[in-house]
Amino acid sequence: MIQLTEPQKQENQTYNHWQTHFQDRVVLVTGGSSGIGYGIAEKFVQAGAIVVVMGTNEERGWQAERALEKLAPDSHQRALFIHGDVTSSEDLERVITYIDERFGQLDVVVCSAGIGRKATLLETTLEDLDRLYRVNVQGAVMTVKTAAKLLQRSEGSVVLISSDAGILGESHAGAYSVTKAAVNMAGKMLALDLAVHGVRVNIVAPGDIAPGMRSMLNVGETVRPKDDYLSWSVPPVGRYGNAADVAGTVLFLASPEASFITGSILLVDGGMRAGFPTDITTAIPNERGIKHA
């Protein structure tokens, strides 16, 4: 039996509201062993869900499973790591079949597996472009496609993790921005396909999140290196985002409280994409020596 310390009990009590929606529900989180994906898995476990984490890094995956188990609100196993690659149709079939045979249901799928490359689109190699597409776009679509029949059985919910870069592109991550824009549209098309089967599909587009794509921390770490974010612009809300900010949004969209929401993109960026700053000259590097009026 897992022994919870008193502070953990108090923390878990704040999730009673979510437990009414997710107690004993089965959730698949791809890319759930680190970063935003782990934060999402963490919040689902605390809400009493059974969370299957799928990832390619076995060491990190087993570490995530052990850490998640310590957060369970009861003595039941709430976290399970399964090694698998979202670019492999065989791996996806194996994972979904395992979930069906062991649990007989799948209520929520969160597609959080993703990779990035720091390069303009013209600088991006064909190899990197192909890899980004296969993981970020094809991986998400094939995960939902493989899980579709099981999701229809429970009239479940899907949340795709995209990026604010897929809404307003970032030149230093050109191919990444393109693939995330594709994820946004893929989510809308999947929402149309699955609506008649009672399955909702929504997209969450995080901004600069730590831990996240731009700042990857190991499981259990909460502090990022100081020099990692000094160059980041501070969002209008006055702070940087964290994985819990994204996770709370995901739980809402996956819950019955969002039963009339499907095919939507929800930004979680602290207001960064709300508009240009008042003095745009302070926000755009003058790399070409252009004189501002």
Neighbouring-strand partners of residue 27: 51, 108
Residue 159, class by beta-carbon neighbours within 10 Å (0-12 exposed, 13-18 middle, 19+ buried)? buried
d(CA 85, CA 41) in angstroms, rounded, equals 17
Residue in the structure block whose two tokens are 């070409």: 288
Which two structure tokens, joined as six digits, stand for 146?
Answer: 């493989």
Q: Ramachandran region of residue 38, left (φ > 0), alpha (ψ -120 to 50) or beta?
A: alpha
Work out whether strand 265-268 and strand 157-161 pair parallel, antiparallel, or are unpaired: unpaired
Which two structure tokens, joined as six digits, stand for 245?
Answer: 């900010």
Which two structure tokens, joined as six digits, stand for 88?
Answer: 């492999």
Tell me if residue 176 is catalytic: yes
Helix (H) or strand (E) holding 27: strand 26-30
Helix (H) or strand (E) holding 202: strand 200-206
Catalytic residue among 15, 38, 176, 240: 176
d(CA 157, CA 200) in angstroms, rounded, equals 5
Active site residues: 176
